[in-house]
Amino acid sequence: MKSPLLFSGLSEADVRDLLAAGQARLLKRHEMLGHQGHPADAFAMVQIGHLKLVQLSAGGSENLVRFIGPGDCYGAVALVSGARYPLSAIAVEPSQVLTWTREAIGGLTERLPQLKSNILEEVMRRMSGVLFTAQDLATTRVPQRVAHALLRLAESGGCRTPAGVQIVHPVTRQDLAELTGTSLFTVSRLMSHWEAEGLLLTRRGALTLLDPDALERAGAAAGE
Amino acid sequence: MKSPLLFSGLSEADVRDLLAAGQARLLKRHEMLGHQGHPADAFAMVQIGHLKLVQLSAGGSENLVRFIGPGDCYGAVALVSGARYPLSAIAVEPSQVLTWTREAIGGLTERLPQLKSNILEEVMRRMSGVLFTAQDLATTRVPQRVAHALLRLAESGGCRTPAGVQIVHPVTRQDLAELTGTSLFTVSRLMSHWEAEGLLLTRRGALTLLDPDALERAGAAAGE
DNA sequence: CGTCTCTTTGAAACGCGTCAATGGCTGTGG
DNA sequence: CCACAGCCATTGACGCGTTTCAAAGAGACG
């Protein structure tokens, strides 16, 4: 595993302390790590596997916000006393996370200002990301939004192959539809179209972007 | 001015120091306080007037994210070294803000952990807010989104009157359209309709919600 | 009084959601 | 080993919600 951004600037000794202070937890498929609306009493970092962060709507339906994988963290809001999780985290495959209680992570951030800075930085990065997707939802058409979602997935959880960038998250059309605020039918149509044009490849669940740049352009042109 | 959330839990002496360390700045209509993409070298709190926070799209067009008024702050990202503003702030009317340089606010947050907590808490609150609007954009129809935007405006910048809640921000249909990701035509139609039903009142720029609850229901029903 | 910004309303075109029907793939159990 | 169920993907047809465009009204301000 490449070193998480969470650890940047920390000494090896500090990282060791940090890891030692956390408690590992195994998650089965569909098991929840944190519940939206419940008191944020723990902070966690994914070590193995992938989780999805979902938001419950007023109507009770769930919808996907984003995926997180190894090195990503969840529950930064636990640093605020009395806060509640704004999102739920659910394992999409058997996973392992390292968790810290609120007191533990609070104490660690006091002792390691660099850690606190790293977390704040990550929160700000997330803020920018959410602002961008909100703008995307507000101003662009469906094809471009789907293209952007694919590119974002490729960036956060992609691995380079000779043919292109392969997306490691197990992502369904329904997932993409929720990410982009559309229906799975429309996503299916778009992706069939793009696959016919040779921009991407979907083989039994594995999704590979063959030409990210062209995809960006295709989304913009179709949405025009 | 009611005491800003930024000051909660601080002693009077600390608040005095904080105010003394900041530098007041007057803004004319349309003057920019911070530029999206520029290095975040200052943190600011609005004292008088209202600003709008806008986001520049890839195409170069501006679009509105939200309004801020007295007691609200801008530029929390300045606490992260090397960060850039994710949004621009523009005065919508002659305004006054109190600004701190990055070094100044950094020093103050070191000395006053409570201040740092307050800022972090505010950032988390904003995160929840943006996540909510993103979900709204993704899952609900236009009428409900517009209703929500109006209710949000009423909550953040509303003043109670015998008739209902009056919105203090100088807000145009175009503004509402940008907030909700629709066109000003659709907003105009919706509001004409709601005004005919007696849910709200628009008199030369002043916007008053006569029955917020009914508005929420109307948005849901029309969007069904 | 004229210009500028904001608003209203109508009519037409279109994007996309919705529904229905079908087919492929995976895992499970007889 | 095969049959079944369940999940996910595909594709077409239809209708509705919204955008788009055009044209005109209403204040506000110099």
pLDDT digits (tens, 9 = 90+) for B61-103: 889 999 999 999 999 999 999 999 999 999 998 999 999 999 9
CA proximity to A153, closest of A133, A135, A137 = A133
Question: Using a CB-CB distance cutoff of 8 angstroms, which residues of chain A are in contact with residue B77?
Answer: 124, 127
Which DSSP string do the residues of A89-140 spell out, in sequence order?
EEESSSEEEEEEEHHHHHHHHHH-HHHHHHHHHHHHHHHHHHHHHHHHHHHS
Statement: residue B223 has pLDDT above 70: no
**Count of other CB atoms within 10 angstroms of residue B150:** 29
B120 with A124: Cβ contact below 8 A: no
Q: Which of A127, A135, A181 is opposite residue B57, by nearest beta carbon? A: A135
B135 with A79: Cβ contact below 8 A: no
CA proximity to A30, closest of A71, A88, A87, A77 = A88
Q: D3 C1' – A61 CA distance, angstroms?
A: 35
Q: What is the pLDDT of residues B153-192, one digit of tens each?
A: 998 878 888 888 999 888 999 999 999 999 999 999 999 9
Q: What is the pLDDT of residues A84-140, one digit of tens each?
A: 999 999 999 899 999 999 999 999 999 999 999 999 999 999 999 999 999 999 999
Gap between the Cα atoms of A14 and A7, Å rounded? 9
Gap between the Cα atoms of A149 and A154, Å rounded? 9
How many residues comprise chain A? 224
Gap between the Cα atoms of B187 and A23, Å rounded? 51
Instruction: Compute the mean pLDDT over every residue in chain B, rounded to the nearest whole number.
Output: 92
User: What ranges in chain B are assigned the alpha helix state H?
Assistant: 12-21, 102-111, 113-139, 142-157, 173-180, 184-196, 212-223
Ranges of beta strands (E only) in chain A are 23-27, 32-34, 42-48, 51-56, 62-68, 73-74, 88-91, 95-101, 158-160, 165-167, 200-203, 206-209
Statement: residue B224 has pLDDT above 70: no
Q: What is the pLDDT of residues A156-189, one digit of tens each?
A: 878 888 888 999 888 999 999 999 999 999 999 9
Going edge to edge, which strands form the sheet with B51-56? B32-34, B88-91, B51-56, B62-68
Question: Using a CB-CB distance cutoff of 8 angstroms, which residues of chain B are in contact with residue A80?
Answer: 117, 120-121, 124
Task: Give the residues across from B32 on adjacent strands.
Answer: B90
Q: Which of B57, B127, B178 is opposite residue A127, by nearest beta carbon? A: B127
CA proximity to A51, closest of A67, A65, A35, A28 = A67
Nearest CA in chain B to A61: B139
Residue carrying structure tokens 């701190």: B100
pLDDT score at A1 = 54
Interface of chain B against chain A, CB under 8 Å? 55, 57, 61, 63, 65, 76-77, 79-81, 83, 86-87, 117, 120-121, 123-124, 126-128, 130-131, 133-135, 137-139, 178, 180-181
Tell me if B37 sits within 8 A of B84, measured CB to CB: yes
CA proximity to A199, closest of A163, A159, A149 = A163
3-class secondary-structure state, position B85: coil
Tell me the percentage of chain B whose pLDDT exceeds 90. Answer: 73
Residue carrying structure tokens 């594995």: A206
A80 with B117: Cβ contact below 8 A: yes
Question: Using a CB-CB distance cutoff of 8 angstroms, which residues of chain B are in contact with residue A137?
Answer: 134, 137-138, 181
Nearest CA in chain B to A124: B77
B35 min Cα distance to partner chain A (Å): 14
Instruction: Give the nucleotide at minimum CA-to-C1' distance from B186.
Output: D18
CA proximity to A52, closest of A178, A146, A144 = A178
Tell me if A14 sits within 8 A of A65, measured CB to CB: no
Tell me if A51 sits within 8 A of A68, measured CB to CB: yes
pLDDT score at A61 = 81
Question: Using a CB-CB distance cutoff of 8 angstroms, which residues of chain A are in contact with residue B152?
Answer: none
